């Protein structure tokens, strides 16, 4: 794991926790969509290129291609667009981060298909802090 990957995982975790603390009230199985598919990670081309260089451009492209081939059977992302690549990379890292966090929260696992509420969010956050 490179430094940028580690940083992106920390940012993903912070966004997930922020969403839960902020009163997330949709289905827990939709949390990834809410956090990683309703806003961009990076919007500027310069910043996207910089982030990809820090991550390793070829490693990022490989991760995006592998993900899309595994999920959809082909690659849909325009790999010549650094903004699209870095945002999909963050989306993928966000998904991986959620799965890692699920391993640490029995409450989250038990409520995966349930609507979120303040009490359950608090229990999940407490388990994630332990």
Domain boundaries along the sequence of the chain: 3-129
Predicted confidence at residue 75, as pLDDT, reads 96
Query: What is the mean predicted confidence (pLDDT) over 9-20?
Result: 96
Predicted confidence at residue 1, as pLDDT, reads 64
Q: Output the CA angle 56-60-62, nearest 5 degrees.
A: 120
Predicted confidence at residue 120, as pLDDT, reads 97
Per-residue pLDDT at 98 exceeds 90: yes
Number of H helices, E strands in the chain: 7, 0
Q: Output the CA angle 32-38-42, nearest 5 degrees.
A: 100
Sorting pLDDT into bands at 50, 70 and 90, what band is 130? confident
């Amino acid at each position: 794991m490179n430094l940028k990957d580690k940083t992106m995982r920390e940012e993903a975790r912070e966004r997930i926790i922020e969403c839960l603390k902020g009163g997330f009230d949709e289905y827990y199985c939709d949390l990834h969509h809410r956090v990683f598919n309703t806003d961009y990670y990076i919007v500027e081309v310069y910043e996207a290129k910089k982030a990809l260089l820090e991550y390793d451009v070829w490693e990022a492209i490989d991760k995006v291609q592998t993900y899309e081939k595994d999920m959809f059977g082909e690659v849909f992302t325009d790999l010549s667009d650094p903004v699209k690549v870095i945002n999909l990379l963050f989306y993928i890292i966000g998904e991986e981060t959620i799965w890692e966090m699920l391993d640490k929260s029995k409450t989250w696992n038990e409520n995966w298909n349930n609507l979120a509420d303040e009490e359950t969010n608090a229990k999940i956050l407490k388990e994630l802090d332990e």
